[in-house]
A and B are shown apart, each in its own frame.
Chain A
Amino acid sequence: MSGIATFLTRRRGGASWHFTDVLAWIWLVAGLLLMFGPVIWLGLSSFKTRAALSEFPPTLLPYETAMVHVEGFDEPLPLYRVMMEDGEEHLLVQVRRIGTVAQMADPEAPEEIIRVPLTARQPVREIKLATENYSTPFKRYNFLRYFYNSVFVTVVATIITLIFNSMAAFALSKYQFKGRTAVLAIILATLMVPLSVIIIPLFSVINGLNLFNSLWGVILPTVATPTGVFLLRQYMLTIPDELLEAARMDHASEWKIYWRIVLPLAMPAVAVLAIFSVMWRWNDFLWPLIVLSDQELYTLQVGLNSFQGELNVQWHYVLAMTVVSMLPVVVIFAFLQRFITSGIASTGIK
């Protein structure tokens, strides 16, 4: 035992444990529980049936009462472990329930009905994943539509953002022209006024342009991101002007210089902006909530919110759809963690 203890507490360089080491480990383990725990709980819960979800206290894993097909009955019947009066335990199926008494039968001999008080029986439970939580919302409700709308908004807005922002960044980094500082100042100024304080006039602008209740009304106000322009401009400033001069010597047009030379060289910054843009647009909530009034046009976030806000919350569907709506982000994070974290650390944008 003491050997294991010394092995576990041995540290690199032979240094001894300081109380701050203990504190640090407590912090990390508490963090692990508090940050991961809720998400894992969501994942486990999303595979429980509606009946299993309403159990209190809840079980960790998705259990369900075992069902057995019995001759003479069309539907499968629930299986119970019953303590008989003679003190013996039997496996019986429940045929019918009347008040506090269950009519039960032996699966082998279903003709004979045995009356059992409810307190004398325990359901036989087995682990079962309620995958219908995932399939039904797509089939019976509008979630496939919401999913499609979210993908459309995210992809289109990101493409337009990348093109418009990179063009503007190119102009602001590679040309000397009158009013350049003014343009930069204007873009900088709008950093101060986030969308949440201009929703009222923006709503009337959108209505004036007939974009209310349209996905384009969600997309267009978000594409000219000042952060994107700044991020790309800072990067393009590091691309040497000599490259552009050489291309001009070869009679390349300015447009060709932009998309054949500068844009490919700025790819690292473009990639960072693309990742951020996808996450911003996928997660947007307030603005789509304002612009979209037709259920058919809801994005996943707005649809999920309206679904969970209904009087009789169908948690088994809400939880499954929550998992679905966070999947793309989790996948992006799993593959591009390094890009994202270094992008944030170096630019301070989110």
Chain B
Amino acid sequence: MTVETRQGIGGGHFAGLLLAPVRWAMNLIDRPMSFVQRRFGLGGVAAAFLAPNMLVFGIFVLFPMTLNVAYSFTGGGALFLNNRVFVGTLQYETLLACRDFLDAASCREDRFWRAVGNTGFFVVVQVTALVLVSLATALVLNREMRARGFWRAVFFFPVLLSPVVVALIWKWILQRNGLLNAALLELGFEPVLWLVNRGWAMFWAIFLSIWAHLGFYTLILLAGLQAIPRDLYEAAEMDGAPRWRVLTRITLPLLWPNMVVVILLALIRAVQVFDEVFVLTGGGPGTATLFLVQYIYETGLAQQVRNLGLASAASILMAVVLIVLTLIQLLASAWRERKEQR
């Protein structure tokens, strides 16, 4: 009570005014909650506290999750499940109908296989490069230097930019009359149509997603590096161990638990690549940068004839991969925490 009166008189007058409706609302909720408490006891109160979150959760996450499985066994163009026709495993068969799994052109749903191939390539190359670049950056930032906060911010800030902004920044640089082509011309090279060439489009898709996300992984690795006890390095210095030996024998082994978490997080995100690349290339040229999420989005929602069943089946296949990766990641996180406590 004393706190409240002081706020009312002093400089907190404005804040008090602002908080008044909040306080009023909170007091309003107090009544039904107190009733629940009297009627059902603490268990009832717990349920009441959980209810709003779990209700939203149930309607918008859990229910759609189960619905997704049901949709993948139906066909036709109807939006709601009760109007849809049960077709068994037809959608899965359509997706998997390939004469040669290594040649997307031999598949009935060739766009799906191109998306799978592109996503697979993207995941392998992007995650490898991303982890190596993040590791190098974290090692550099972990050195003793002035203005470390500034340098950390330099590498970190793109993490906060929206994918649309990231894509537009680079689209502007990569366009035909863009900065990069101007620089190439200055150096005596021919300008390149970066986003019209299939190989270059994929290269920039990978580059962009590394540029945008490397700060996040650097930060996790940096936290891991700083948790390595100083005295280990001092002991190594006393023994006159060369630097690369310190790196391979002390730093990297002790950083490994963090590396595992970073690799898995990067994998999980890479499988879902969509936003930046979609704005940058729209999946093109042709299907050169068509990835799984874009395939699901276009097949199920963005085409003239929506094929919800096929899109659901594809997203179930993708979910299986993600679930496996996430399970491994959770186990790895628990393993890291146990290691850190020791």
A contacts, CB < 8 Å to B: 12, 18, 20, 24, 27-28, 31-32, 34-36, 38-39, 41-42, 45, 54-58, 163-165, 167-168, 170-172, 175, 177-178, 183, 186-188, 190-194, 196-205, 207-209, 220-221, 223-224, 229, 253-256, 258-259, 279, 282-283, 285-286, 290, 301, 304-305, 308-309, 315, 318-319, 322, 325-326, 329-330, 332-333, 337, 340-341, 344-346, 348, 350
Contacts and interface: CB of A to CB of B under 8 A. Distances in A.
B152 A341 contact: yes
Contacts of A285: 162-164, 275, 279
B105 interface: no
Contacts of A308: 168, 171, 279
B165 A348 contact: no
Per CB-CB distance, the 5 closest pairs between chain A and chain B, nearest first, are A283-B162, A201-B67, A171-B49, A168-B53, A345-B223
B243 A301 contact: no
B53 A165 contact: yes
A205 B181 CA distance: 47
Contacts of A344: 216, 219-220
Given A200-B68, A205-B59, 7 more contacts: A20-B243, A41-B172, A196-B272, A197-B68, A254-B33, A286-B293, A301-B164
B322 interface: yes
Interface string B188-219: 00000000000000000000000100001001
A42 B158 contact: no
Contact of A36 (B79, B154, B185): B154
Contact of B211 (A34, A194, A340): A34
A200 B319 CA distance: 13
Contacts of B293: 196, 286
A24 B140 contact: yes
Contacts, number: 268
Contacts of B155: 31, 35
15 contacts: A32-B154, A34-B211, A58-B182, A192-B322, A196-B272, A199-B301, A203-B301, A204-B80, A209-B59, A254-B34, A255-B34, A286-B275, A326-B161, A330-B157, A348-B261
Most buried by A among B153, B161, B282: B161
Most buried by A among B65, B211, B333: B65
Contacts of A163: 52
Nearest to A57: B182
Interface residues of B, number: 99
Question: Would you call the interface of chain A mostly helix, strand, loop, or mixed?
Answer: helix
Contact of A38 (B160, B170, B330): B170
Contacts of B65: 190, 193, 198, 201
Contacts of B322: 192-194, 197
Contact of B326 (A56, A192, A333): A192
A190 B62 contact: yes
A191 B326 contact: yes
Interface in B288-318: 293, 296-297, 300-301, 308, 311-312, 315-316, 318
Interface string B144-180: 1100010111111111111111001111110001110
